[in-house]
A = this chain, B = another copy of it.
Amino acid sequence: MARIVMKFGGTSVADTDRIKNVAQRVKREVDAGQQVAVVVSAMAGTTNQLVDWTRGIARMHDAREYDVVVAAGEQVTAGLLALALQDIGVNARSWLGWQIPFATDGIHGKARIEHIDTTIMEERFEQGQVAVVAGFQGIGPDNRITTLGRGGSDTSAVALAAALRAERCDIYTDVDGVYTTDPRITSRARKIDRITYEEMLELASQGAKVLQTRSVAMAMQHGVRVQVLSSFVDAPGTLVVDEDEIVEQQVVTGIAYSPDEAKVTLVGVPDRPGVAGAIFGSLADAAVNVDMIVQNVSQDGDATDLTFTVAQADLDRANHVLEGLSDELGYKQIVADAGVCKISVVGVGMRSQPGVAKTMFQTLAEKGINIQVISTSEIKVSVLISADYTELAVRALHTAYGLDAEVVG
């Protein structure tokens, strides 16, 4: 008998009617002969309310108590969904993190899952019982509730699917799959039927916020087949699978954009060993994550310009760090620009297919879009451009790589 994990996010369980709708979806899988574990998030808005209360109470958080408060949201949904399933004749019971147990490392607020004991759950599967599991939560070695960090229910679901050796982990959300690019930017964006873990990772971390990056990495590590689909629409979604499950490979699978970037240029940096180490070491110490980096070749032999990108939210902190290094480094000037956007084309096919970057550069050049920074990985080419050209660039690249949906009529 096949076994699946279904995961429903906050908007899918936002009220009692939606929870009943979820119960019907679960029943359909049960009626089709599946053994089912369902992982649920808190009802939409609940986690924010609980987090706000903890902030209103105390300036500093004890992460252990924070976990006690916020884990209550998933507990409520799990109980309600079990009731809704029973009401339509499905044998079901709820499981909280500490009951399973979902053993974690005990780093409160962002715990990592270490072991899931599925013995009893699997016995109950044999009796036809559906397991309704509170997502996002586990238990630490201190016998206290831990949470996995925001969006952690995706991770709960994938980890449970791995532990149960499930055939598939279906992540139900408010979109019906992963798209070749943001459908709000071009109506020609197409839903992707199958995508590799690597591509999904690049898209997730590049701004396509469908699946939590950490859950994709875990799915890849354990070979869990993940499907992203809508709980409101009745249609297959996007399967995230191993590369060898994808027969016909596109060169480029999708185009992501990330508008939350800022560019920093240090002008007139002394061109001597140890400078880059001092700069990026200090930024890392201040928890500023640096993404793209480019260093111009020194013209006169003793000074150069260094450009890199950080998240916009980190820009003030980065400036502060750099100003503190002013005396030590003796650079001339800091130039910061928050009006930039990173565009990435992603596809495992580019490993074997040359010319992907060339197409990107040509396409942008034809539209008169200046490329400020470039970075590449094995399956990705990213460029930094002025934010004003974001939509134009995404649409042009979508067409150039043959991703446009055929227009009917």
Residue ranges of A at the interface with B (Cβ–Cβ < 8 Å): 16, 19-20, 50, 53-54, 56-62, 64-69, 71-73, 75-76, 78-80, 82-84, 86-87, 93-94, 96, 98-99, 143-145
Instruction: Label chain A's interface by main secondary structure.
Output: helix
Given contacts A16-B57, A57-B20, A87-B60, contact A69 B80 (CB under 8 A): yes
**A58 to B57 CA separation, bound complex (whole angstroms):** 35
Q: Are A82 and B98 in contact (CB under 8 A)?
A: no
Q: Are A80 and B94 in contact (CB under 8 A)?
A: no
In the assembled complex, the CB of A163 is this many whole angstroms from the nearest CB of chain B, namely 19
Q: List 17 A-B contacts (CB under 8 A).
A: A16-B53, A16-B56, A16-B57, A50-B76, A57-B80, A57-B83, A57-B84, A57-B87, A58-B87, A65-B83, A66-B79, A68-B75, A68-B79, A68-B96, A72-B73, A72-B76, A75-B75
In the assembled complex, the CB of A24 is this many whole angstroms from the nearest CB of chain B, namely 13
**A62 to B85 CA separation, bound complex (whole angstroms):** 11
Within 8 Å CB of A87, what residues of B?
57-60
Within 8 Å CB of A71, what residues of B?
75
Given contacts A58-B87, A143-B99, contact A53 B76 (CB under 8 A): yes
Chain B, Cβ-Cβ closest to A61: B83
- Interchain residue pairs A-B with the least CB separation, the first 10: A68-B79, A69-B79, A58-B87, A72-B72, A16-B56, A58-B83, A65-B82, A65-B79, A57-B83, A72-B75
**A71 to B68 CA separation, bound complex (whole angstroms):** 12
**A87 to B65 CA separation, bound complex (whole angstroms):** 12
Q: Are B65 and A93 in contact (CB under 8 A)?
A: yes
In the assembled complex, the CB of A123 is this many whole angstroms from the nearest CB of chain B, namely 14
Given contacts A53-B16, A68-B94, contact A62 B76 (CB under 8 A): no
* CB contact between A83 and one of B62, B73, B83, B94 (< 8 Å): that residue: B62
Within 8 Å CB of A96, what residues of B?
68, 145
Within 8 Å CB of A19, what residues of B?
57
Given contacts A75-B72, A76-B72, contact A83 B98 (CB under 8 A): no
Q: Are A82 and B60 in contact (CB under 8 A)?
A: no
**A394 to B60 CA separation, bound complex (whole angstroms):** 53
Within 8 Å CB of A94, what residues of B?
65, 68
Within 8 Å CB of A145, what residues of B?
96
* CB contact between A69 and one of B56, B58, B67, B76 (< 8 Å): that residue: B76
Q: Are B79 and A54 in contact (CB under 8 A)?
A: yes
**A67 to B61 CA separation, bound complex (whole angstroms):** 28
**A19 to B65 CA separation, bound complex (whole angstroms):** 14
**A68 to B99 CA separation, bound complex (whole angstroms):** 12
User: Known pairs A64-B93, A72-B72. 13 more at Cβ < 8 A?
Assistant: A54-B79, A57-B83, A58-B83, A59-B87, A60-B86, A62-B82, A65-B79, A65-B82, A66-B79, A66-B83, A68-B75, A68-B96, A72-B79
**A263 to B100 CA separation, bound complex (whole angstroms):** 53
In the assembled complex, the CB of A166 is this many whole angstroms from the nearest CB of chain B, namely 24
In the assembled complex, the CB of A39 is this many whole angstroms from the nearest CB of chain B, namely 15
**A143 to B95 CA separation, bound complex (whole angstroms):** 11
Within 8 Å CB of A78, what residues of B?
68
**A84 to B86 CA separation, bound complex (whole angstroms):** 39
Within 8 Å CB of A84, what residues of B?
57-58
